[in-house]
Amino acid sequence: MLDACAELVDEVGYDGLTTTLLAERAGVAIGSVYQFFPDKRAIVQALTLRSLEGYLQRLSDRLAGEGIANWWDAVDAAIDEYIDMHRTVPGFRTLHFGDVVDIHLLDDERDNNDVIVSQLSALLVARFGILDASRLQFVLAIAVEAADALIKLAFRRSPDGEAAVLGEAKALIREYLHHRL
């Protein structure tokens, strides 16, 4: 059902998504949809959580590999993985991490980007031993908001993301973090 949801959200958008369409696409009875999900928001929430888990796994795998010697390489990797998912993962381009639906889709207490920042911070602290985790979270919050806006701009300008804008986004975030951490 989540795969069908991802396809549909790319085709018709969140507003066009219905549980009836989802059931038809997934080849299940409407009752089966409601057995697992009370409404379309819950379905999209599950899809968004799956995307977050996939993103964090991809980034974690990349950080464990060779070639990531410094935290700024990890930041580049985080941006690259986000861009790649934007291009290749069904539903991700439309939903990102749920901000299209609700800024509290991932967590009732915190906005979606705060959840992302916490996860990224934990990865960076674990991998690079950054000591001031609260400072890291603050500057990452600024960086994530800026990167999110610039990446969206790049994909509004070109279906594959305008390379010049994506390059500037990475340079801006790297330079900002370099002077703040």
For the ranges 55-59, 129-133, 134-138, which has the lowest average pLDDT? Answer: 129-133
Rg over CA atoms, the chain: 17
Do the domain assignments include residue 22? Answer: no
- Identify whether 25 is part of a domain: no
Provide the CATH number for the domain around residue 176: 1.10.357.10
How far apart, in whole angstroms, are the C-alpha atoms of residue 23 and residue 31?
9
Q: Could you give the residue ranges of the DSSP H alpha helices within the chain? A: 2-16, 19-26, 30-36, 40-64, 71-88, 92-95, 112-128, 133-157, 163-180
Total domains in the fold of the chain: 1
- Please indicate, yes or no, if residue 73 is contained in any of the structural domains: yes
Sign of torsion, CA 161 44 108 130? negative
User: Is 4 a domain residue?
Assistant: no
pLDDT of 95: 87
- pTM reported for the whole predicted model: 0.87
In a domain, 36, yes or no: no
pLDDT digits (tens, 9 = 90+) for 68-110: 888 888 888 999 999 999 999 999 988 888 777 788 788 888 8
Any domain includes 21: no
* Range of the structural domain that residue 81 is part of: 48-180
The answer to whether residue 105 is domain-embedded is yes
pLDDT at 181 over 80: no
